[in-house]
């Protein structure tokens, strides 16, 4: 369920839901709040900053901010620019269609971006002050992402290509049939049925329009970037503009669903040949970045095929000799978001350590990694610029903003203040770090989030938060659904443990979940809540537990092991309930093969049989006795909606108080404003009913 943490967080933060059918502009809200605590409507009023890009002269940042309208039930993204010193903020676009993928042209004279203002998504350019917008592409199928070549003479872009014949193609006398015929697996993926492939194209560019467009993956039934989370970070130019490097898993059907073996391919523009540069490396190999002199390529690499949550290593290849090396072999952490320094001597990246994501620096010549920043926050991306770094940062108490970071000492200065007005009116609850002793004598980092205006002399109901992933850290993320400050604002103390199976605490800790879903990770949950409920301000008779994805599975499992009625209410969102049905319903088989151990019909596979016997919540439903709210969505193909339906029906048949919140138009996430607000209202109505 987790692919790359940074990418997953981007989705958690909420990409805008835009529509060409509603021409109304969505304006930045100017709210005067009646209270200083969070509400669902306030949460959906925050501007969501993303994707900063530094100008070639290093003086200006361009970035996007999405705002949502409850009334229109959609979002829209506009582009802004600001000087790196935090002055001269300017909104560059103001359209109902949304603008995306803003990048500086290499000469710095134009900003390129994607916009659907004239229908399909196309490449546009404008002056750095936002004037003179001109459409430069007219690609019939629409464009999903693009990058200028370093010499400014070419543009690569991605677009969806239809290759497979449909029944309408085979039987032209049935033009209205909606039937689909499949002969292999991977026919649906995450939230859509697979009827097209994302391909990489290259075109000449004369400063005005695209010419001589070539599909460099022509005829191949493969995806680049990797679906559904991959973006333009998985495709890049070599510095000499002669080669395109792209990430691809060149497998199809059953082979695709069983494997995570993605490689980095080089397409040579001169001779139109393609070469697999990471052949023989069996896990995810993604996101190539090149040293300024073009001699080296760095990329993110996982070792094992079929294991999506393997250690994310930092590899570097000498492109002259082909020699490659793991520069994180002695670094027991993940590396994400790699960026070379201008002199080619360092690679900066993001890594999680003890539930906070910080900026790190690799000195390539010395083979030495240094931590640059320190604090209770999550950095999510970094742009090196000489003595300064420009980075995005968030925390449990503050949404994403851009910071200028001193590359030497890590001191940070906030550049953007997107949500200054709202933040100035809100009181956030305090966030405190605890270390809890587990049943096997280890130490488990647990965040506790307190209500605003917390009174230590009062008794509060508390919620155990169960994390999804299953291997994504309970770090300092700001979410627009599972928002800890939102929960605390409703009068709850939140207990959020980093149980077994989460990164940031070493490879061994991270791996101690595979094949043991119903074991130590569950005991770690109990260790956290049983330790924290002893605090004098927590009412141990008013405990609830909530979670989504693997967290939703956790709730179902805990519901069958709720000894002494420890918890009085549950909420499970998009959770696995029956591991046998899950095995045959999910989209990517490598996930269940690695984490559960394999198919349930293989009676000789002791690991798999142990998982199905001890971990499947359906085996323990006879013990359910606690009110439960089940939330699930129709377009979730990773954990299909039938898992939630089974759980809800089981509760009703057991005469356990239950409620089912169903979204026919959402996927593994809830992204539409009115659905999101309904989600929050239903969430807290349920908790208040049973815990207050």
Strands 336-340 and 346-353 come out as antiparallel
449-467 in b/e burial notation, b at 16+ Cβ within 10 A?
A: bbbbeeeeeeebbbbbbbb
Other CB atoms within a 10 A radius of the CB of residue 49 amount to 21
Cβ-count burial 520-545 (b if 16+ within 10 Å, e if not): bbbebbbbbbebbbeeeebeeebbbb
- Assign 419 to helix, strand or coil: coil
φ/ψ of 136, rounded to 5, equals -110, -10
For residue 669, give the nearest of 578, 572, 592, 573 by alpha carbon.
573
C-alpha–C-alpha distance, residues 92 and 466, integer Å: 41
Catalytic pick among 199, 377, 632, 668: 668
636 is catalytic: yes
Instruction: Fill in the DSSP letter of residue 262.
Output: B
The enclosing H or E element of 580 equals helix 579-585
The separation between CA 662 and the C-alpha centre of its own chain, rounded to angstroms, equals 23
H or E element at residue 689: helix 673-691
**Residues belonging to the chain:** 692
Return the H-helix or E-strand segment holding 685.
Answer: helix 673-691
Contacts of residue 601, defined as CB under 8 A and 6 or more positions apart, other chains included, come to none
How far apart, in Å, do the first and last CA atoms of the chain sit? 33
Phi-psi category of 393—alpha, beta or left, where left has phi over 0 and alpha has psi -120 to 50? Answer: beta
Choose the catalytic residue: 351, 475, 636, 667: 636
Beta carbons within 8 Å of 383's beta carbon, 6+ residues apart: 52, 53, 54, 339, 389, 390, 391
DSSP string for 591-657: HHHHHT-S-TT-TT-HHHHHHHHHT-GGGGGGG--S-EEEEEETT--SS-HHHHHHHHHHHHHTT--
Residue 532 DSSP SS3: helix
Q: For residues 600 and 593, is the Cβ–Cβ distance under 8 A?
A: no
> Token digits for 223?
């995806």
Q: Of 45, 514, 549, 616, which is the active-site residue? A: 549
CB 304 within 8 A of CB 323: no
Just list the catalytic residues: 549, 636, 668
């Amino acid at each position: 369920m987790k692919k790359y943490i940074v990418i997953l967080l981007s989705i958690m933060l909420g990409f805008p839901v835009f529509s060409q059918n509603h021409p109304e502009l969505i304006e930045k809200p100017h709210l005067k709040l009646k209270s200083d605590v969070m509400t669902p409507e306030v949460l959906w009023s925050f501007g969501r900053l993303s994707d900063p890009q530094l100008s070639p002269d290093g003086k200006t940042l361009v970035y996007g901010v999405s705002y949502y309208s409850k009334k229109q039930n959609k979002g829209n993204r506009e582009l802004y620019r600001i000087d790196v010193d935090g002055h001269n903020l300017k909104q560059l676009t103001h359209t109902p269609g949304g603008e995306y993928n803003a990048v500086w042209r290499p000469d710095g004279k134009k900003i390129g971006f994607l916009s659907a203002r004239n229908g399909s998504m196309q490449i546009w350019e404008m002056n750095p002050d936002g004037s003179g917008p001109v459409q430069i592409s007219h690609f019939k199928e629409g464009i999903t992402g693009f990058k200028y070549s370093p010499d400014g003479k070419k543009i690569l872009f991605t677009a969806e290509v239809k290759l497979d014949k449909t029944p309408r193609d085979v039987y032209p006398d049935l033009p209205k049939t909606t039937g689909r015929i499949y002969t292999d697996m991977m026919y649906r993926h995450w939230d859509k049925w697979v009827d097209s492939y994302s391909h990489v194209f290259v075109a000449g560019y004369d400063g005005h329009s695209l010419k001589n467009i070539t599909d460099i993956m022509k005829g191949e039934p493969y995806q680049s970037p990797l679906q559904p989370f991959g973006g333009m970070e998985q495709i890049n130019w070599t510095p000499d503009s002669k080669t395109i490097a792209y990430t691809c898993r060149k497998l199809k059907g059953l082979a695709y669903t069983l494997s995570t073996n993605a490689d980095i391919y080089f397409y040579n523009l001169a001779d139109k040949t393609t070469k697999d540069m990471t052949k023989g490396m069996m896990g995810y190999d993604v996101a190539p970045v090149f040293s300024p002199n073009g001699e080296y390529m760095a990329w993110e690499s996982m070792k094992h095929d079929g294991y999506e949550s393997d250690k994310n290593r930092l590899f570097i290849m000498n492109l002259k000799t082909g020699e490659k090396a793991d520069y994180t072999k002695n670094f027991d952490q993940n590396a994400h978001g790699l960026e070379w320094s201008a002199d080619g001597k360092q690679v900066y990246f993001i890594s999680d350590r003890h539930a906070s994501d910080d900026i790190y620096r690799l000195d390539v010549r010395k083979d030495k990694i240094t931590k640059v920043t320190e604090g209770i926050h999550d950095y999510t991306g970094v742009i090196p610029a000489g003595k300064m770094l420009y980075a995005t940062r968030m925390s449990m108490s503050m949404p994403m903003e851009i910071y200028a970071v001193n590359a030497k000492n890590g001191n940070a200065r906030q550049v953007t203040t997107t949500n200054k007005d709202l933040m100035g009116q809100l009181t956030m609850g305090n966030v405190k770090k605890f270390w809890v002793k587990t049943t096997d004598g280890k130490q488990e980092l647990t965040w506790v989030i307190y209500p605003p205006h917390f009174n230590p002399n009062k008794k509060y109901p508390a919620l155990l938060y169960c994390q999804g992933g299953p291997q994504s850290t309970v770090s300092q993320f700001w979410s627009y659904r599972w928002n800890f400050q939102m929960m605390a604002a409703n009068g709850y103390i939140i207990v959020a443990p980093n149980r077994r199976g989460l990164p940031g605490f070493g490879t061994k800790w991270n791996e101690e979940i595979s094949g043991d879903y119903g074991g130590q990770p569950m005991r770690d949950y109990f260790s956290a809540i049983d330790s924290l409920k002893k605090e004098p301000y927590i009412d141990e008779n008013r405990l609830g537990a909530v979670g989504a994805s693997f967290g939703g599975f956790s709730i179902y499992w805990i519901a069958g092991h709720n000894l002494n009625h420890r918890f009085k209410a549950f909420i499970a969102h998009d959770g696995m309930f029956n591991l046998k049905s899950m095995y045959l319903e999910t989209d990517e088989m490598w996930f269940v093969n690695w984490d559960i151990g394999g198919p349930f019909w293989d009676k000789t596979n002791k690991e798999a049989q142990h998982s199905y016997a001890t971990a499947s919540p359906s085996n323990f439903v006879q013990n359910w006795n606690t009110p439960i709210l089940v939330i699930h969505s129709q377009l979730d193909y990773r954990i299909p909606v039938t898992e939630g339906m089974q759980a809800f029906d089981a509760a009703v048949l057991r005469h356990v108080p239950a409620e089912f919140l169903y979204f026919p138009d959402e996927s593994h996430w809830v992204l539409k404003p009115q659905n999101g607000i309904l989600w929050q209202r239903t969430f807290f109505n349920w908790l208040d009913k049973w815990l207050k």
